[in-house]
Amino acid sequence: MPNIAIVWDFDGTLVPDDSTTKTVEILSGGGDMKAFWESIHRLRGDKDKENPNWEHVLAMDAPIWMYSLSRLAEFQGVPLNSQFFKEFVLPHIHLYDGVIEFLKAIKDFEKSPEFLKLDLKIHHFVVSAGLKELIEQVFPENLIMWTFGCRYTVTFDPNKEDDRPVSVPVYCIDETAKTRSLFEIVKGVFLDKDVSVNKRVSQNELWCPFENMIYVGDGPTDVPSLSLTRDKGGVGIAVYNPEANKEKIEARFKEMRLDRRADLITPAIFSLDGELYKYIVTRCIQIRQRYEASERLEAAS
Protein backbone atom coordinates (compact mmCIF):
# COMPACT_ATOMS: atom_id res chain seq x y z
CA MET A 1 0.00 0.00 0.00
CA PRO A 2 1.45 3.42 -0.96
CA ASN A 3 1.99 6.06 1.71
CA ILE A 4 0.69 9.57 2.41
CA ALA A 5 3.41 12.23 2.46
CA ILE A 6 2.87 15.62 4.11
CA VAL A 7 5.78 17.79 2.98
CA TRP A 8 6.62 20.91 4.97
CA ASP A 9 8.79 23.86 4.16
CA PHE A 10 10.56 25.06 7.32
CA ASP A 11 11.39 28.77 7.53
CA GLY A 12 8.21 30.82 7.52
CA THR A 13 6.08 27.67 7.56
CA LEU A 14 6.86 25.80 10.78
CA VAL A 15 8.90 28.62 12.33
CA PRO A 16 8.14 32.35 11.99
CA ASP A 17 11.79 33.34 11.53
CA ASP A 18 14.57 32.46 9.10
CA SER A 19 16.89 29.88 10.67
CA THR A 20 19.75 30.62 8.26
CA THR A 21 19.67 34.32 9.11
CA LYS A 22 19.76 33.37 12.80
CA THR A 23 22.85 31.19 12.17
CA VAL A 24 24.61 34.05 10.37
CA GLU A 25 23.67 36.44 13.15
CA ILE A 26 25.15 34.15 15.81
CA LEU A 27 28.38 33.59 13.87
CA SER A 28 28.80 37.30 13.22
CA GLY A 29 28.08 38.30 16.79
CA GLY A 30 24.86 40.10 15.91
CA GLY A 31 26.05 41.69 12.68
CA ASP A 32 23.96 43.55 10.13
CA MET A 33 21.78 40.86 8.53
CA LYS A 34 20.40 43.23 5.91
CA ALA A 35 23.92 43.98 4.73
CA PHE A 36 24.75 40.25 4.61
CA TRP A 37 21.81 39.39 2.37
CA GLU A 38 22.41 42.46 0.21
CA SER A 39 25.94 41.22 -0.40
CA ILE A 40 24.55 37.81 -1.37
CA HIS A 41 22.19 39.45 -3.86
CA ARG A 42 25.03 41.50 -5.34
CA LEU A 43 27.06 38.34 -5.87
CA ARG A 44 23.95 36.72 -7.34
CA GLY A 45 23.90 39.41 -10.00
CA ASP A 46 20.86 41.49 -9.07
CA LYS A 47 22.53 44.75 -10.10
CA ASP A 48 23.32 43.36 -13.54
CA LYS A 49 19.62 43.46 -14.38
CA GLU A 50 19.87 47.24 -14.61
CA ASN A 51 21.97 46.78 -17.74
CA PRO A 52 19.66 46.96 -20.80
CA ASN A 53 21.70 44.21 -22.48
CA TRP A 54 21.37 41.88 -19.51
CA GLU A 55 20.50 38.41 -20.80
CA HIS A 56 21.76 35.86 -18.32
CA VAL A 57 19.89 34.10 -15.55
CA LEU A 58 20.50 35.01 -11.90
CA ALA A 59 22.77 32.70 -9.94
CA MET A 60 21.32 30.50 -7.21
CA ASP A 61 21.20 31.95 -3.70
CA ALA A 62 22.11 28.75 -1.87
CA PRO A 63 25.71 28.18 -3.09
CA ILE A 64 26.53 31.86 -2.45
CA TRP A 65 25.19 32.11 1.08
CA MET A 66 26.53 28.67 1.97
CA TYR A 67 30.00 29.69 0.81
CA SER A 68 29.78 33.03 2.65
CA LEU A 69 28.59 31.30 5.81
CA SER A 70 31.42 28.74 5.60
CA ARG A 71 34.01 31.52 5.32
CA LEU A 72 32.50 33.25 8.33
CA ALA A 73 32.60 29.99 10.30
CA GLU A 74 36.21 29.34 9.26
CA PHE A 75 37.18 32.84 10.43
CA GLN A 76 35.57 32.08 13.80
CA GLY A 77 37.28 28.68 13.91
CA VAL A 78 34.05 26.70 14.28
CA PRO A 79 32.71 23.76 12.25
CA LEU A 80 29.22 23.90 10.76
CA ASN A 81 28.21 20.51 12.12
CA SER A 82 25.44 19.05 14.28
CA GLN A 83 27.22 19.86 17.53
CA PHE A 84 27.64 23.53 16.63
CA PHE A 85 24.01 23.87 15.59
CA LYS A 86 22.81 22.10 18.73
CA GLU A 87 24.87 24.19 21.12
CA PHE A 88 24.70 27.65 19.57
CA VAL A 89 21.77 27.90 17.15
CA LEU A 90 19.07 25.45 18.25
CA PRO A 91 18.21 27.40 21.46
CA HIS A 92 17.25 30.36 19.25
CA ILE A 93 14.94 28.42 16.88
CA HIS A 94 11.32 28.43 18.01
CA LEU A 95 8.50 26.62 16.21
CA TYR A 96 5.05 28.13 15.98
CA ASP A 97 2.95 27.27 19.01
CA GLY A 98 1.54 23.76 18.86
CA VAL A 99 3.55 22.45 15.89
CA ILE A 100 4.82 19.28 17.58
CA GLU A 101 1.38 18.31 18.91
CA PHE A 102 -0.13 19.14 15.51
CA LEU A 103 2.28 16.88 13.61
CA LYS A 104 1.83 14.06 16.13
CA ALA A 105 -1.96 14.28 15.96
CA ILE A 106 -1.95 13.97 12.16
CA LYS A 107 0.56 11.11 12.29
CA ASP A 108 -1.66 9.30 14.81
CA PHE A 109 -4.47 9.03 12.26
CA GLU A 110 -2.61 6.08 10.77
CA LYS A 111 -3.39 4.19 13.99
CA SER A 112 -7.15 4.36 13.44
CA PRO A 113 -8.87 1.09 12.44
CA GLU A 114 -9.68 2.37 8.95
CA PHE A 115 -6.06 3.26 8.17
CA LEU A 116 -4.71 0.11 9.83
CA LYS A 117 -6.98 -2.06 7.73
CA LEU A 118 -5.44 -0.61 4.57
CA ASP A 119 -1.92 -0.43 6.06
CA LEU A 120 -1.94 3.22 4.94
CA LYS A 121 0.80 5.21 6.68
CA ILE A 122 1.11 8.99 7.11
CA HIS A 123 4.61 10.50 7.05
CA HIS A 124 5.94 14.03 7.61
CA PHE A 125 8.84 15.38 5.54
CA VAL A 126 10.71 18.68 5.64
CA VAL A 127 12.02 20.11 2.38
CA SER A 128 13.89 23.34 3.07
CA ALA A 129 16.57 25.63 1.72
CA GLY A 130 17.72 25.85 5.33
CA LEU A 131 20.34 23.72 7.07
CA LYS A 132 19.47 20.03 7.35
CA GLU A 133 21.57 19.28 10.45
CA LEU A 134 19.94 22.16 12.33
CA ILE A 135 16.37 21.40 11.26
CA GLU A 136 16.64 17.72 12.21
CA GLN A 137 17.38 18.65 15.81
CA VAL A 138 14.25 20.77 16.17
CA PHE A 139 11.88 17.79 16.15
CA PRO A 140 11.53 14.73 18.39
CA GLU A 141 13.07 11.56 17.00
CA ASN A 142 10.94 9.67 14.45
CA LEU A 143 8.40 12.47 13.98
CA ILE A 144 9.91 13.55 10.65
CA MET A 145 10.47 10.75 8.14
CA TRP A 146 13.21 12.61 6.27
CA THR A 147 14.66 16.11 6.02
CA PHE A 148 15.93 17.50 2.74
CA GLY A 149 18.13 20.55 3.31
CA CYS A 150 21.47 22.23 2.69
CA ARG A 151 24.48 20.36 4.09
CA TYR A 152 28.17 20.86 4.84
CA THR A 153 31.04 18.43 5.22
CA VAL A 154 33.66 19.56 7.74
CA THR A 155 37.31 18.98 6.86
CA PHE A 156 40.72 20.61 7.31
CA ASP A 157 42.90 22.32 4.73
CA PRO A 158 46.32 20.60 4.69
CA ASN A 159 47.81 23.63 2.95
CA LYS A 160 47.12 25.91 5.90
CA GLU A 161 49.29 26.13 8.99
CA ASP A 162 46.42 26.54 11.45
CA ASP A 163 43.95 23.78 12.30
CA ARG A 164 40.76 25.73 11.72
CA PRO A 165 37.97 23.50 10.39
CA VAL A 166 36.73 24.15 6.88
CA SER A 167 32.99 23.66 6.22
CA VAL A 168 32.52 22.67 2.59
CA PRO A 169 29.02 23.04 1.04
CA VAL A 170 28.10 19.63 -0.39
CA TYR A 171 24.35 19.95 -0.99
CA CYS A 172 22.46 23.10 -1.89
CA ILE A 173 18.68 23.46 -2.16
CA ASP A 174 16.76 26.29 -3.78
CA GLU A 175 13.16 26.53 -4.95
CA THR A 176 13.68 24.38 -8.03
CA ALA A 177 15.87 21.82 -6.25
CA LYS A 178 12.94 21.34 -3.86
CA THR A 179 10.96 19.81 -6.71
CA ARG A 180 13.67 17.14 -7.12
CA SER A 181 13.14 16.26 -3.46
CA LEU A 182 9.45 15.70 -4.15
CA PHE A 183 10.29 13.16 -6.86
CA GLU A 184 12.69 11.46 -4.43
CA ILE A 185 9.81 11.12 -1.97
CA VAL A 186 7.41 9.86 -4.61
CA LYS A 187 9.85 7.19 -5.77
CA GLY A 188 11.19 6.37 -2.29
CA VAL A 189 14.73 7.22 -3.37
CA PHE A 190 15.64 8.43 0.12
CA LEU A 191 15.18 4.84 1.39
CA ASP A 192 17.39 3.14 -1.20
CA LYS A 193 20.81 4.50 -2.16
CA ASP A 194 20.87 2.23 -5.20
CA VAL A 195 17.79 3.85 -6.76
CA SER A 196 18.28 6.97 -8.89
CA VAL A 197 15.71 9.76 -8.89
CA ASN A 198 15.83 9.54 -12.70
CA LYS A 199 14.82 5.88 -12.72
CA ARG A 200 11.43 5.23 -14.24
CA VAL A 201 9.06 3.70 -11.70
CA SER A 202 5.63 2.36 -12.61
CA GLN A 203 2.59 3.97 -10.97
CA ASN A 204 1.78 0.95 -8.83
CA GLU A 205 5.36 0.80 -7.49
CA LEU A 206 5.58 4.41 -6.32
CA TRP A 207 6.32 4.83 -2.62
CA CYS A 208 3.92 7.79 -2.50
CA PRO A 209 2.02 8.86 -5.64
CA PHE A 210 1.67 12.62 -6.06
CA GLU A 211 -2.08 12.21 -5.44
CA ASN A 212 -1.12 11.20 -1.89
CA MET A 213 1.07 14.25 -1.31
CA ILE A 214 0.25 17.42 0.59
CA TYR A 215 2.79 20.25 0.25
CA VAL A 216 2.77 23.12 2.75
CA GLY A 217 4.89 26.24 2.17
CA ASP A 218 4.84 29.94 2.91
CA GLY A 219 5.16 31.71 -0.40
CA PRO A 220 7.10 32.53 -3.57
CA THR A 221 10.03 30.15 -3.06
CA ASP A 222 7.55 27.30 -2.66
CA VAL A 223 5.61 28.06 -5.85
CA PRO A 224 7.39 25.44 -8.04
CA SER A 225 6.71 22.72 -5.45
CA LEU A 226 3.13 23.85 -4.89
CA SER A 227 2.51 23.91 -8.64
CA LEU A 228 4.14 20.53 -9.25
CA THR A 229 2.20 18.87 -6.43
CA ARG A 230 -1.12 20.29 -7.61
CA ASP A 231 -0.47 19.55 -11.30
CA LYS A 232 0.22 15.92 -10.39
CA GLY A 233 -2.99 15.52 -8.42
CA GLY A 234 -1.82 16.40 -4.91
CA VAL A 235 -2.75 19.30 -2.65
CA GLY A 236 -0.82 22.55 -2.15
CA ILE A 237 -1.26 24.73 0.93
CA ALA A 238 0.25 28.19 1.50
CA VAL A 239 0.52 29.52 5.03
CA TYR A 240 1.50 32.88 6.45
CA ASN A 241 2.44 34.36 9.80
CA PRO A 242 -0.84 35.42 11.43
CA GLU A 243 0.96 38.33 13.09
CA ALA A 244 2.39 39.72 9.83
CA ASN A 245 1.20 42.92 8.20
CA LYS A 246 -2.13 42.15 6.51
CA GLU A 247 -1.48 44.41 3.50
CA LYS A 248 1.89 42.78 2.83
CA ILE A 249 0.34 39.33 3.13
CA GLU A 250 -2.42 40.23 0.68
CA ALA A 251 0.11 41.60 -1.82
CA ARG A 252 2.29 38.51 -1.40
CA PHE A 253 -0.48 36.06 -2.16
CA LYS A 254 -2.48 38.06 -4.71
CA GLU A 255 -0.74 36.55 -7.73
CA MET A 256 -0.78 33.10 -6.15
CA ARG A 257 -4.56 33.35 -5.76
CA LEU A 258 -5.05 34.57 -9.33
CA ASP A 259 -2.88 31.77 -10.72
CA ARG A 260 -4.45 29.18 -8.39
CA ARG A 261 -1.06 28.02 -7.16
CA ALA A 262 -2.51 26.74 -3.88
CA ASP A 263 -5.68 24.92 -2.86
CA LEU A 264 -5.72 26.73 0.48
CA ILE A 265 -4.14 29.93 1.81
CA THR A 266 -4.43 30.09 5.58
CA PRO A 267 -2.64 31.42 8.69
CA ALA A 268 0.12 29.28 10.18
CA ILE A 269 -2.02 28.40 13.19
CA PHE A 270 -1.31 24.90 14.50
CA SER A 271 -4.32 24.29 16.70
CA LEU A 272 -6.25 21.03 16.46
CA ASP A 273 -9.49 22.90 15.77
CA GLY A 274 -8.04 25.26 13.18
CA GLU A 275 -8.50 25.40 9.40
CA LEU A 276 -5.06 23.99 8.58
CA TYR A 277 -5.54 20.89 10.72
CA LYS A 278 -9.07 20.22 9.47
CA TYR A 279 -8.00 20.62 5.84
CA ILE A 280 -5.06 18.23 6.09
CA VAL A 281 -7.05 15.64 8.04
CA THR A 282 -9.90 15.83 5.51
CA ARG A 283 -7.44 15.27 2.67
CA CYS A 284 -5.93 12.23 4.42
CA ILE A 285 -9.43 10.80 4.87
CA GLN A 286 -10.19 11.42 1.18
CA ILE A 287 -7.06 9.50 0.21
CA ARG A 288 -8.05 6.64 2.50
CA GLN A 289 -11.55 6.58 1.02
CA ARG A 290 -10.09 6.43 -2.49
CA TYR A 291 -8.26 3.21 -1.60
CA GLU A 292 -11.35 1.80 0.12
CA ALA A 293 -13.39 2.45 -3.01
CA SER A 294 -10.74 0.85 -5.16
CA GLU A 295 -10.74 -2.28 -3.02
CA ARG A 296 -14.53 -2.51 -3.17
CA LEU A 297 -14.45 -2.24 -6.94
CA GLU A 298 -11.83 -4.96 -7.18
CA ALA A 299 -13.87 -7.22 -4.88
CA ALA A 300 -17.01 -6.68 -6.98
CA SER A 301 -15.32 -7.40 -10.31
Mean pLDDT of the chain: 90
| SS3 at position 166 | strand
Is the Cβ–Cβ distance between 130 and 19 less than 8 Å?
yes
CA atoms within 13 A on the CB side of 228: 22
Euclidean distance between CA atoms 67 and 82, whole angstroms: 18
Residue 205 pLDDT: 85
Query: What are the residues facing 4 on neighbouring strands?
Result: 122
Q: Does the structure show a pLDDT above 80 at 157?
A: no
Q: Does the structure show a pLDDT above 90 at 35?
A: no
Euclidean distance between CA atoms 295 and 301, whole angstroms: 10
Q: Does the structure show a pLDDT above 80 at 295?
A: yes
26-35, 124-133, 148-157: which is most confident? 124-133
Between 106 and 28, the more confident residue is 106
Residue 120 pLDDT: 97
Q: Does the structure show a pLDDT above 90 at 158?
A: no
Residue 59 has what DSSP assignment?
P
Please report, for residues 1, 110, 163, 256, 285, the alpha-carbon distance to residue 115 in angstroms, rounded to integers and kept in the order given: 11, 5, 54, 34, 9
Q: Angle at Cα 285 formed by Cα 216 and Cα 184, nearest 5°? A: 45
Residue 115 pLDDT: 97
Q: Does the structure show a pLDDT above 80 at 53?
A: no
Q: What is the 3-state secondary structure (H, E, C) of 130-165?
A: EEHHHHCCCCCCCCEEEEEEEEEEEEECCCCCCCCE
Residue 255 pLDDT: 72
Residue 30 pLDDT: 80
61-75, 120-134, 158-172: which is most confident? 120-134
Is the Cβ–Cβ distance between 18 and 12 less than 8 Å?
yes
Q: Does the structure show a pLDDT above 70 at 102?
A: yes
Q: Does the structure show a pLDDT above 70 at 50?
A: no
pTM reported for the whole predicted model: 0.92
pLDDT tens digits along 217-229: 997 789 999 999 9
Q: Does the structure show a pLDDT above 70 at 65?
A: yes
pLDDT tens digits along 234-276: 999 999 999 888 887 787 777 777 577 889 999 999 999 999 9
pLDDT-derived band at 38, boundaries 50, 70, 90: confident
Euclidean distance between CA atoms 24 and 30, whole angstroms: 8
Euclidean distance between CA atoms 135 and 138, whole angstroms: 5
pLDDT-derived band at 73, boundaries 50, 70, 90: very high
Residue 57 pLDDT: 66
Structural domain that includes position 266:
4-300
| SS3 at position 198 | coil
Q: Does the structure show a pLDDT above 70 at 22?
A: yes
Q: Name the domain count of the chain.
A: 1
Euclidean distance between CA atoms 80 and 131, whole angstroms: 10
Residue 233 pLDDT: 96
Q: Can you tell me the mean pLDDT for 189-217? A: 85
Q: Does the structure show a pLDDT above 70 at 287?
A: yes
Q: What is the CATH number of the domain that holds 32?
A: 3.40.50.1000
